Structure 1
Amino acid sequence: MTPLLRPAPAGRQYAAGATVLALLALASLAVGSRPVPPSQVLSALFGFDPANDLHLVVRALRLPRTLLAIFAGAALGLAGAVMQSVTRNPLAEPGLLGVNSGAAIAVVLGASAFGLTQMAQYVWFGFLGAGLAGVAVFLLGRAHESGTDPVRLVLAGAGISVLLGAAASLVILNSGLEVLDLFRNWGSGALEGRGRAVAATMGVALALGGGLALALAPGLNAMALGHDSGRALGLRPQRFWALACLSVMILAGAATAAAGPIGFVGLVAPHLARAVTGPDNRRVLPLSALFAASVLLGADIIGRVVAPPAEVAAGIVAAILGGPFFVHVVRRFRLARL
């Protein structure tokens, strides 16, 4: 390998990713329908004055929204990286493989049948729906057997997504205005008005699911060689698959319950991470979290400024940005067996 192609040291990669994320976070706190000067942003963070209305805007409205974008984006990036590694499929990500749709229909059912309108209540439905949909897609796509056929897995994910999307629409159309109002903002991936409790719950889920994903990183490297090679290196494929599915269920379920069904973020970030650091999942997973957090936070910022004074939901902006990247990945890999 030539020096020009050698990956940069891990510390430098993490520092660069964290720097970009910090700058975007500062911009997120400053940008909006009412601009806040950077000096006032820093003053609100480190010298809060409850009598200053700009400080209240930063601390009460934009800080929870920024933290939610960071936590949810990182969760989607980790979930996508785990799914791509464990299935050896470059197109795997929670949105494309039905995990987000499973969480979405579960949240809608929870709101419609049980009147659950608080994230702390319906997040458990999001976990359950994400897990069941992921297992269904993996079984229909037979990813647990080989994990090497992108066409089969993507078709299974598309079929499950369409089915669950139709079911969610049916439930919404036959529910009250409360459910419709909840889904109107939540279903588009809008991060506005979620509050501190939602961001805190998302942070706990990220710590649990992300910690499990990072602990699986060495095993993901072994499984990348194939199930037989992984078994020869001491892994139990079925147990490993169960732990990987649990990690994805926690990460994608919480992110979808908190921020809505946001697609493509979990697809883009792992590819960017591998382009920077190579295939080692011990580096890919943390960088995927950093990059995905930056992508979702950047999408949220763009959504605030493209059509003022109205806003475009972060999920819609992420889909617009991620769609061309998905086409690029499809053309690059040609949906061939890897």
Structure 2
Amino acid sequence: MALQRLKEAAEKAKCELSSSLETEINLPFITADASGPKHLNATLSRAKLEQLTDDLIESTIEPCHKALEDAKLKPEDIDEVILVGGQTRMPKVQETVKKIFGKEANKGVNPDEVVAMGAAIQAGILGGDVKKDILLLDVTPLSLGIETLGGVATRLIERNSTIPTSKSQIFSTAADNQSAVDINVLQGERPMAKDDTSLGRFQLIGIPLAPRGIPQIEVSFDIDRNGIINVKAKDLGTQKEQKITITASSGLTDEEIDKKVKEAEQFAEEDKKLKEKIELKNQADTLIYSVEKTLKESEDKISEEEKTEIDENIKDLKKALEEDNAENIKAGIEKLTASSHKMAEEIYKKATAETQ
């Protein structure tokens, strides 16, 4: 069981590092010995992951050069480079591809489905159902997503995705007893909602009152062959749903689309820092909520000394959030995480003693 949890956490960390610079691996009660339960809490950076996988990435370079040589082609002769396999979502892999071919890889096709799609096309060619020299694909001109906590633009469908296409993702509430959620549909390449274009808004109401993070709300995007976007939000608990149909998915000229893409590139570093800071604040807020909830529910199982330490760490982290200092927030998260693990260990020991 412990190995399975480790494997799942490693896979999750690898996926998260495709869009974040670092991620937390937090596995409480991963094992136990005579001294009590053991927890795993580690930070893995994208740089460390790239270092660990460097030999694997380097081994792909020679086959690419060999393929070009066998085809008697130069990198500049290649119109599009298509990535195959989920591992190619790693930024380092995409950077390596760009160095080899001198161009960005086409991300319009799901790398997990490329082989199957290619086989289907080839089968169509062999069967005479598809013309060998013609393959027309329409794509989304800009990324599509919704606004989430902190004004972050969370993408569901990436720019240049072939249509028709669909994508779903599970979200939750940001506050206790929240009975409605506002869905702001966005189009653009910037990581903050305020810098993207809002295509429409709608509300999902009637969500049962519950602590934040409990309700499961599925947001689905569906784009048909005509480029019409259907966005649906569904509460998986009550099956209540609300949707919006957007017929003019872009309304932008090629020049305007190109301008938005260039702006995203121009402000990439600034946007990344801002998004990371907001995500850090969201992480801190979630941690405070979780620890305060545990403290309230298990007050009789925690020593006064432990309560005092946790209360102080919560106050320090709240102060860091008010001051909006990223370094202090990060330090506060580390301190509160450490004390929360000590609290969990104390609760576990007392619960074990009571059952004996």
Q: Same fold per TM (> 0.5)? A: no
Going by fraction, where is strand more abundant, 1 or 2? 2
Q: Based on CA coordinates, which of the two structures has the bigger radius of gyration?
A: 2
TM-score (structure 2 length as normaliser): 0.29
Higher relative contact order (CA 8 A, sep 6+): 1
